[in-house]
């Protein structure tokens, strides 16, 4: 009996104009946007590869170890799944320096490669956004007359005269509509995956297909939720045109109005104004350390006379070519540090006895710098979280009240382009910085002659620990996506129960 | 005709959709006003602080004409528009400042001269909040009002046919075009009522606040924006009538309308812009740096070649001055070229989005609200004009000093007397209504044309309707 009902509903739905239009529009939009997104991804990948090579060479050109300031640069590869959900992949910087005098965060990152900043004026559309807009609309279009239409035409009465439970009828309608909605979803996804595999630069791994599977599953939950919303409206109204109009208002509010309205309104929430005080605190820590350093230089029996009035530069070594002070001063991202160093081309023979003293000094100076960095990090990390992450999380939390927000968050988590996915990269960079510092400690590079002079052996960059970043396991993606998917599922179940109650109680 | 319009109006006023539209528009407009009142004073405060900082910089540099000329007038800031609540125009993505650098100094005791320099990265790199289209008038009108317009007309003809009242109406001796125009007017008025109410509330909230003052010019602009909004809404009303006349069932009519709407309003602009943006690839930032480096090296080669043999003192200063000025001009030209290529790419992409009426209306709102891309171009033009004025001022002041040898570009050749800081030209970013109107005329014409086409389509469809 159930099968008969499903077959009837399926045939009813499949032979309609709206079904043809739905498939056509979804296909058109998905294919057009996949081509655009693929091209964009390829461009970003080329820019990434070029930037990696350039940075590799630039580092090799540095002869002294201290020259790695501003030369040891890590690039963030574009995420191939960003085609499905762009998330933060393009928005956040993808070029970050690794240096012992600061801890790299995503706010210190810059952008490599060709990028016309004005193009940000146009919103970029990813596949999930197409589904979010079009499939939800289609689900409502399929649902609005499911019950109201039959009631209008009088066929509902006819069906109910048969000895069938009302729940079965609802279930059959639900299953057949979902099967119909699956068609545009799967065909368009298939086409876009075919397009992706024809690309030579794009390589999808086996676990990427698992992630895409997760995205499909989430899409199904999302579409089904909208179908149920439509069904609910359809069960409550008498006339189809009223049902459709109500559906459209609900769609407009849920998909279009609510997300933008709530994110605009959230700006009114007062934000912690700790930025300046924390920045000053960090600056003070550095200045304190600088004073201590100068005092040390002035009072140290051996180094004192070597340094000019407590400034470390040069140490009166013969052959010093220039001094440099890498520094950053960005109040907006609470970044502040400076480092003094110098480059000695060829140290004169008469200065030779002083070289070990300078080496010792740099061992001390760099060790203390790293300690200062750790001290400032204790202040900087929570402040950055309060300034940037908390408002972002608040916005994302409020978005979850709309199914679109849940869908977006879950697919972002699957694709790995969400905040967590991006932070994975930056915590890998932070660990890498630690590894580099540990390597420098181990090999006593901070107190080596190669730190500032290149005359007796130059820096060996090939022995440096290599940076490698792998996107997180599918399991972790699933774990991050799960809460949102469960919420979607719960909403589905609740709505289905509500519809059941309304439908069972309704008079024909 | 008025009779039909009135009937339509009464029909609509009592309907559920009218109530829903009113609530939706009011909620959106009030949020818009509240957010604007919260943000705008901060923006103004920040702008004033930056301006003051720039002025202090000029005062310190004015101790010597040479220093002023070499280090330049400081950062030039874009003035925030008072009408930003009408159209955000992607302002957060656009730089609000044009800088200048003078850091390209090198050997020979020469310091590079100030030249215009444009920021090359997007200013919102640190923003990790979810993407959002700000709820401004352009959003409310572009998306919500158009959707409401469709919901008001989808059953205008097909619904009457379904109910059988169309036959009754056409039995009266009224020409069909009168019926059509009457229906359009009725729908337009019933859409305008909630919209006008929402706009009124929005402006009421904004104008009662003490922090924001709207001048006569701003009210004029608001009036124009209101009429463009009505034109845009009638575009969708005409589309609704067209589809409604062609289709026999109103539900089918709404489905078709929605599919058209979602394609053209939501997806076409961004998709087309991305496709069109891919056609040209402007000079990248890396290439820019490379070109600048090459030019710089070549310039210094010429410098070194000149001084390979002994040169007399007067000629030496002359050459050094020319060298510094030429270097700055060359670099500025490359910067301009880079910027021009970026702008050309965006202009082309924006041009192609005109296929969609929402993009046209967005451009119009932006140009009348004084935000967005065209406004940014105006700001860049203003900055360039200011740079010319500033250079002229330097040359004039220098020629007024008898002790100077009038060789701009080098300390020895220029006046070193202090300058009155008040006499230095101040940068003020201006908005110009007549210019905006010229730029917007094409978009306005397109919108009118589209409306006429749709309306005649609706007329033809309606004339052929069999009852």
What's the pLDDT at A242? Answer: 84
Question: CA–CA separation, A76 vs A125, rounded Å?
Answer: 22
pLDDT at B105 over 60: no
Q: Are residues A355 and A212 in the same domain?
A: no
Closest Cβ opposite residue B270 in set A92, A122, A396: A122
Domain that holds residue A205: 2-42+125-267+475-505
Q: Are residues A101 and A161 in the same domain?
A: no
Q: Are residues A453 and A308 in the same domain?
A: yes
One-character DSSP codes across A145-179: TTTHHHHHHTHHHHHHHSS--HHHHHHHHHHHHHH
Question: CA–CA separation, A41 vs B367, rounded Å?
Answer: 33
Q: Are residues A228 and A198 in the same domain?
A: yes
pLDDT at B68 over 80: yes
pLDDT tier, A113 (very low <50, low <70, confident <90, very high otherwise): low
What's the pLDDT at B123? Answer: 65
Spatial neighbors of B66 by CB under 8 A, at least 6 apart, are: B411, B414, B415, B416
> Nearest Cα to A335, choosing from A346, A327, A323?
A327
Smallest CA–CA distance, residue A43 to chain B, in Å, is: 10
Examine residue A403 and state whether it is found in any structural domain, yes or no: no
| Interface check B311 vs A, CB under 8 A | no
Q: Are residues A171 and A257 in the same domain?
A: yes
Q: Are residues A146 and A220 in the same domain?
A: yes
pLDDT tier, B433 (very low <50, low <70, confident <90, very high otherwise): low
One-character DSSP codes across B164-233: THHHHHHHSS--HHHHHHHHHHHHHHHHHHHHHHHHHHHHHHHHHSSS----HHHHHHHHHHHHHHHHHH
Examine residue A282 and state whether it is found in any structural domain, yes or no: yes
Q: Are residues A38 and A48 in the same domain?
A: no
Q: Are residues A117 and A217 in the same domain?
A: no
pLDDT digits (tens, 9 = 90+) for A141-172: 888 888 888 888 888 788 778 787 888 888 88
* Contact assessment for residue B249 and residue B466, using Cβ atoms and an 8 Å cutoff: no
Q: Are residues A177 and A258 in the same domain?
A: yes
pLDDT at A216 over 90: yes
For residue B417, give both structure tokens: 């007397």
Q: Which residues of chain A from 330 to 349 reach within 8 Å of chain B, CB to CB?
A: 332-333
Residue A300: CB atoms within 10 A of its CB come to 16
Domain count, chain A: 2
**CB atoms B130 and A396 under 8 Å:** yes
Q: Mean pLDDT across chain B, nearest whole number?
A: 86
Q: Which residue has the higher pLDDT, A250 or A315?
A: A250
For residue A454, give both structure tokens: 């290149």
pLDDT tier, B106 (very low <50, low <70, confident <90, very high otherwise): low
Question: CA–CA separation, B166 vs B164, rounded Å?
Answer: 5
Q: Residue A97 forms beta bridges with which residues?
A: A73
What's the pLDDT at A425? Answer: 94
Q: Are residues A283 and A423 in the same domain?
A: yes
Is residue A265 packed enough to be buried (19+ CB in 10 Å), middle (13-18) or exposed (0-12)? middle
Question: CA–CA separation, A506 vs A231, rounded Å?
Answer: 14
Residues constituting chain B: 467
Over residues B376-400, the mean pLDDT reads: 89
pTM for the complete prediction?
0.89
Distances (CA, A) of B236 to A59, A246, B455: 59, 19, 10
- Percent of chain A, pLDDT > 90? 36
Question: CA–CA separation, A359 vs A444, rounded Å?
Answer: 10
Residue B2: CB atoms within 10 A of its CB come to 10
pLDDT tier, A325 (very low <50, low <70, confident <90, very high otherwise): confident
| Interface check B278 vs A, CB under 8 A | yes
pLDDT digits (tens, 9 = 90+) for A65-102: 888 888 899 999 999 999 999 888 888 888 899 999 89
Spatial neighbors of B84 by CB under 8 A, at least 6 apart, are: B36, B40, B43, B91, B136, B369, B371
- The number of helices, as runs of H, and strands, as runs of E, in chain A is 16, 6
Examine residue A352 and state whether it is found in any structural domain, yes or no: yes
Rg (CA), chain B: 29
Q: Are residues A199 and A304 in the same domain?
A: no
pLDDT digits (tens, 9 = 90+) for B166-224: 888 888 888 888 888 888 999 999 999 999 999 999 999 998 888 888 888 889 889 99
For residue A244, which residues of chain B lie inside 8 Å, CB to CB?
251, 254-255
* Contact assessment for residue B99 and residue B126, using Cβ atoms and an 8 Å cutoff: no
Reported as type and span, the H/E element at residue A96 is strand A95-97
* Contact assessment for residue A257 and residue A405, using Cβ atoms and an 8 Å cutoff: no
Examine residue A390 and state whether it is found in any structural domain, yes or no: no
Over residues B286-296, the mean pLDDT reads: 87
Examine residue A137 and state whether it is found in any structural domain, yes or no: yes
Q: Which of A448-452, B139-143, B422-426 has the highest mean pLDDT?
A: B139-143
Q: Are residues A313 and A285 in the same domain?
A: yes
Examine residue A383 and state whether it is found in any structural domain, yes or no: no
What's the pLDDT at B300? Answer: 84
Smallest CA–CA distance, residue A142 to chain B, in Å, is: 10
Examine residue A393 and state whether it is found in any structural domain, yes or no: no
Question: Among A191-205, A224-238, A426-440, B92-106, which stretch is predicted with the lowest mean pLDDT?
Answer: B92-106
Question: Among A34-38, A378-382, B278-282, B354-358, which stretch is predicted with the lowest mean pLDDT?
Answer: B278-282
Smallest CA–CA distance, residue A63 to chain B, in Å, is: 23
């Amino acid at each position: 009996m159930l099968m008969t009902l499903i077959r009837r509903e399926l045939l009813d739905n499949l032979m309609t104009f709206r079904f043809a239009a739905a498939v056509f529009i979804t296909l058109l939009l998905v294919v057009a946007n996949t081509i655009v997104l693929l091209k964009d991804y390829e461009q970003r990948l080329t820019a990434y590869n070029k930037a990696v090579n350039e940075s590799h060479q630039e580092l090799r050109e540095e002869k002294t170890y201290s020259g790695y300031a501003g030369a040891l640069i890590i690039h963030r590869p574009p995420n191939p799944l960003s085609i499905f959900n762009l998330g933060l992949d393009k928005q956040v910087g993808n070029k970050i320096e690794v240096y012992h005098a600061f801890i790299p965060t995503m706010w210190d990152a810059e952008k490599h490669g060709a990028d016309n900043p004005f193009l940000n004026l146009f919103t970029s559309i990813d596949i999930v956004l197409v589904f979010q807009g079009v499939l939800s609309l289609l689900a409502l279009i399929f649902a609005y007359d499911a019950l109201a239409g039959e009631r209008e035409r009088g066929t509902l009465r006819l069906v109910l005269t048969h000895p069938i439970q009302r729940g079965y009828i609802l279930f059959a309608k639900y299953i057949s509509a979902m099967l119909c909605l699956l068609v545009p979803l799967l065909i368009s996804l298939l086409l876009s995956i075919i397009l992706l595999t024809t690309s030579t630069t794009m390589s999808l791994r086996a676990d990427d297909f698992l992630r895409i599977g997760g995205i499909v599953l989430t899409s199904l939950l999302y579409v089904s939720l909208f179908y149920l919303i439509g069904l609910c409206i359809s069960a409550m109204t008498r006339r189809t045109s009223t049902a459709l109009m109500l559906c459209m208002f609900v769609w407009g509010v849920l998909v279009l109005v609510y997300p933008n309205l709530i994110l605009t309104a959230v700006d009114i929430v007062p934000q912690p104004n700790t930025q300046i005080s924390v920045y000053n605190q960090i600056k003070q820590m550095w200045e304190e350390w600088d004073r201590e350093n100068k005092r040390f230089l002035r009072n140290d029996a051996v180094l004192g006379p070597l340094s000019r009035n407590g400034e470390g530069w040069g140490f009166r070594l013969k052959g010093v070519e220039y001094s440099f002070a890498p520094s950053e001063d960005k109040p907006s991202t609470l970044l502040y540090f400076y480092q003094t160093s110098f480059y000695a081309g060829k140290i004169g023979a008469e200065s030779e006895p002083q070289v070990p003293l300078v080496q010792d000094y740099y061992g001390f100076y760099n060790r203390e710098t790293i300690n200062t960095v750790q001290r400032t990090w204790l202040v900087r990390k929570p402040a950055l979280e309060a300034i940037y992450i908390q408002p972002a999380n608040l916005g994302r939390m409020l978005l979850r009240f709309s199914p679109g927000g849940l869908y977006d968050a879950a697919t972002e988590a699957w694709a790995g382009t969400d905040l967590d996915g991006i932070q994975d990269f930056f915590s890998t960079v932070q660990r890498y910085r630690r590894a580099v510092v540990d390597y420098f400690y181990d090999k006593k590079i901070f107190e080596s002659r190669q730190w500032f002079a290149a005359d007796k052996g130059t820096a060996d960059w090939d022995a440096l620990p290599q940076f490698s970043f792998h996107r997180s396991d599918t399991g972790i993606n699933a774990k991050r996506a799960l809460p949102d998917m469960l919420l979607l599922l719960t909403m589905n179940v609740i709505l289905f129960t509500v519809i059941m109650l309304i439908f069972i109680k309704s008079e024909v | 005709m008025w009779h039909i319009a009135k009937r339509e109006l009464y029909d609509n006023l009592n309907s559920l959709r009218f109530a829903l539209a009113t609530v939706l528009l009011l909620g959106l407009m009030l949020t818009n006003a509240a957010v604007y009142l919260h943000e705008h004073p901060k923006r103004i405060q920040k702008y004033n602080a930056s301006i003051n900082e720039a002025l202090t910089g000029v005062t310190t540099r004015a101790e010597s004409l040479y220093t002023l000329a070499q280090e330049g007038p400081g950062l030039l800031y874009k003035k925030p528009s008072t009408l930003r609540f009408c159209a955000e125009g992607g302002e957060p993505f656009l730089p609000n400042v044009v800088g200048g650098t003078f850091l390209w100094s090198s050997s020979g005791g020469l310091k590079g001269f100030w030249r215009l320099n444009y920021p090359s990265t997007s200013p919102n790199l640190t923003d990790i909040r979810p993407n959002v289209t700000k709820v401004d008038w352009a959003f409310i009108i572009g998306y919500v009002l158009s959707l409401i317009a469709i919901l008001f007309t989808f059953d205008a003809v097909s619904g009457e046919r379904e109910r059988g009242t169309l036959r009754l109406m056409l039995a009266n001796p009224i020409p069909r075009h009168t019926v059509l125009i009457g229906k359009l007017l009725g729908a337009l008025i019933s859409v305008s009522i909630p919209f006008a109410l929402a706009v009124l509330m929005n402006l009421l909230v904004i104008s009662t606040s003490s922090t924001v003052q709207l001048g006569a010019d701003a009210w004029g602009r608001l009036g124009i924006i209101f009429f463009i909004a009505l034109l845009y809404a009638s575009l969708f009303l005409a589309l609704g009538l067209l589809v409604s006349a062609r289709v026999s069932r109103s539900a089918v009519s709404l489905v078709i309308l929605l599919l058209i709407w979602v394609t053209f309003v939501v997806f076409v602009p961004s998709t087309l812009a991305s496709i069109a943006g891919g056609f040209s690839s402007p000079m990248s930032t890396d290439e820019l740096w490379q070109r600048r480096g090459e030019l710089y090296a070549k310039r210094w080669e010429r410098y070194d070649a000149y001084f390979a043999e002994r040169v007399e003192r007067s000629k030496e200063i002359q050459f050094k001055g020319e060298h510094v000025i030429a270097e700055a001009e060359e670099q500025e030209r490359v910067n301009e070229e880079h910027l021009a290529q970026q702008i050309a790419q965006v202009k082309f992409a924006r041009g192609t989005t005109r296929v969609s009426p929402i993009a046209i209306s967005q451009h119009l709102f932006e140009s009348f609200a004084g935000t967005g891309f065209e406004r940014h171009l105006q700001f860049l033009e203003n900055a360039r004009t200011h740079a010319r004025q500033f250079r002229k001022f330097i040359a004039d002041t220098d020629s007024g000093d008898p002790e100077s040898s009038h060789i701009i570009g080098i300390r020895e050749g220029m006046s070193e007397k202090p300058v009155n800081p008040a006499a230095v030209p101040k940068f003020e970013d201006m908005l110009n209504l007549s210019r905006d109107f010229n730029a917007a005329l094409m978009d306005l014409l397109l919108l009118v044309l589209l409306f006429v086409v749709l309306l005649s389509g609706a007329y033809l469809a309606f004339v052929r309707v069999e009852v």
